[in-house]
Amino acid sequence: MTDAVRSFDVLIVGAGPAGIAAACAASECGRTVGMVDDNPTPGGQNWRGEAPTPNTAESAAWYRRLLAAEIDFVRGASVFAQLGSGVLLAESADAIHELRYAKLILATGARERFLPFPGWTLPNVMGAGGLQALVKSGLPISGMRVIVAGSGPLLLAVAAYLKKHGARVLLIAEQATRARLVRFAAGLLRYPGKLFQGMEMRRSLSGIPYLSDCWTVSAEGKDKLERATLRQRQKIWTLECDYLACGFHLVPNTELAELLGCELREGSVRVDEWQETSVAGVFCAGEPTGIGGLELALAEGQITGYAAAGQPDTARPIFSERRKLRRFALLLEETFRLRKELKSLPGAETIVCRCEDVTFERLRRHNSWRAAKLETRCGMGPCQGRVCGAAAEFLFGWQAEPVRPPVFPASVEALAVSAPSGSGSSIRD
Amino acid sequence: MKEIREGGVELDDGTILSAGRVVNAAGTWAPDLTHGLNVRKRKGHLVITDRYPAFLRHQVVELGYLKSAHSGTSDSVAFNVQPRKTGQLLIGSSRQYGAEDTRVESGMLARMLERACEYMPGVAKLSAIRSWTGFRAATPDKLPLIGPAPGQQNLSLATGHEGLGITTSLATARLLVDQLLGRVSAIPVEPYLPSRIAPVMAHA
Amino acid sequence: MPETCTLSIDGARVSVPQGTTVAAAVLLSGVPGLRRSVRGEQRGPLCGMGICFECRVTINGRPHARSCQVVCEHGMEVRTND
What local confidence, expressed as pLDDT, does residue B199 receive?
A: 59
pLDDT for residue B200: 60
What would the mean pLDDT of B76-97 be, rounded to a whole number?
94
C52:A39 CB<8 A: no
The pLDDT value given to residue A201:
83
3-state secondary structure of A414: helix
Contacting residues for A238 by C-beta, under 8 A, at least 6 apart: A220, A227, A228, A229, A230
Q: What is the pLDDT of residue A424?
A: 42
Which residues of chain B have a CB within 8 Å of the CB of C64? 50, 127
CB of B127 within 8 Å of any CB in chain A?
Answer: yes
Cβ burial B164-184 (10 Å sphere, 16+ → b, else e): ebeeeeeebeebbebbeeeee
Say whether A111 and C65 touch across the interface (CB within 8 A).
no
CA-CA-CA-CA torsion sign (A45, A314, A264, A257): positive
The confidence score (pLDDT) of residue B69 equals 66
Mutation target among A139, A287, A357 for the C interface, most CBs of C within 10 A? A139
The C-alpha atoms of residue B82 and residue B89 are separated, in whole angstroms, by 6
Strand residues in B56-180 grouped as ranges (E): 60-61, 76-83, 88-97, 127-138, 145-148, 155-159
- The shortest CB-CB distance from A386 to any of C16, C51, C70 is to C51
Cα dihedral sign for B106, B112, B116, B117?
positive
B134/chain C closest Cα distance in angstroms: 27
A145 touches A242 (CB < 8 A): yes
Residue range C43-53: average pLDDT? 96
Do A201 and A180 contact (CB within 8 A), yes or no?
Answer: no
| Cβ-based neighbour number of residue A330 at 10 Å | 12
Which pLDDT value is given to residue A406? 95
Interface of A with B in 239-298 (CB under 8 A): none
Q: Alpha-carbon distance A36 to A19, whole Å?
A: 9
Start-to-end CA span in chain B (Å)? 11
> Could you tell me whether strands A95-106 and A110-112 are parallel, antiparallel, or unpaired per DSSP bridges?
unpaired
pLDDT tens, position by position, B103-134:
999 899 999 999 999 999 999 999 999 999 99
Query: How far is the C-alpha of A77 from the C-alpha of A278, rounded, in Å?
Result: 26
C-alpha closest to that of B64 among B45, B92, B97: B92
- Residue A187 confidence (pLDDT): 87
Contact A138 C68 (CB under 8 A): no
> A410 and chain B: CB distance < 8 Å anywhere?
yes
3-state SS assignment for residue A87: strand
Contacts 24+ apart (CB under 8 A), C53-61: C53/A355, C53/A381, C53/A382, C53/A383, C53/A409, C54/A354, C55/C23, C56/A382, C57/C22, C57/C23, C57/C26, C58/C82, C59/C22
Question: What is the model's pLDDT at position A228?
Answer: 98
A294-308 and A319-335 helices cross at what angle (nearest 10)? 140
> Which residues from chain A sit within 8 angstroms of residue B104, using beta carbons?
404-405
Cβ–Cβ < 8 Å for A42, A20: yes
Q: Which of A133, A224, A357 comes nearest C48 by C-beta?
A: A133
Q: What is the 3-state secondary structure (H, E, C) of B98-124?
A: CCCCCCCCHHHHHHHHHHHHHHCHHHC
Phi-psi region of A339 (alpha: psi -120 to 50; beta: other; left: phi over 0): beta
Q: Which residues of C touch B (CB under 8 A)?
A: 38, 62-64
pLDDT digits (tens, 9 = 90+) for B160-175: 999 889 989 999 999 9
Query: Is the pLDDT score of C36 beyond 80?
Result: yes
Q: What is the pLDDT of residues C60-80, one digit of tens each?
A: 999 999 999 999 999 999 999
Decide which of A282 and B142 is more confident.
A282
**Residue A427: per-residue pLDDT:** 34
User: Mapping DSSP to helix (H, G, I), strand (E, B) and coil, where does residue A151 land?
Assistant: strand
User: In this model, does residue B72 exceed pLDDT 70?
Assistant: no
Residues 43-82 of C with CB under 8 A from A: 43-54, 56, 64-65, 68-71
Q: Which residues are bridge partners to A211 per DSSP? A: A173
- Tell if the CB–CB gap between A386 and C52 is shorter than 8 Å: yes
Quickly count: other Cβ atoms within 10 Å of residue B138's Cβ.
22
Whether the CB-CB separation of C81 and C33 falls below 8 Å is answered with yes
Helix (H, G, I), strand (E, B) or coil at C56: strand
Residues A27, A24: Cα–Cα separation, whole Å: 5
**Which of chain A's residues have a Cβ under 8 Å away from the Cβ of B49?**
412
C31: chain A residues, CB-CB within 8 Å? none
Q: Are A176 and A212 in contact (CB under 8 A)?
A: yes
Is the CB of A111 less than 8 angstroms away from the CB of C32?
A: no
Collect the ranges in chain A with pLDDT lower than 70: 1, 422-429
Count Cβ atoms below 10 Å from residue A400 Cβ, excluding itself: 20
Work out the average pLDDT over B5-23: 89
Distance from CA of B53 to the nearest CA of C (A): 10
Query: What ipTM was reported for this prediction?
Result: 0.96
CA distance A40 to C71: 7
Cα–Cα dist B188/A91, whole Å: 54
Name which of B159, B146, B135 is nearest B187 in CA terms. B146
CB contact under 8 A, A130 and C45: yes
Return the sign of the alpha-carbon dihedral for residues A333, A176, A116, A144. negative
Phi, psi (deg, nearest 5) at residue B47? -130, 145
Contact B64 A418 (CB under 8 A): no
Q: Which residues of A touch B130 (CB under 8 A)?
A: 380, 384, 404, 406
Chain-chain contact of C48 with A357 (C-beta, under 8 angstroms): no
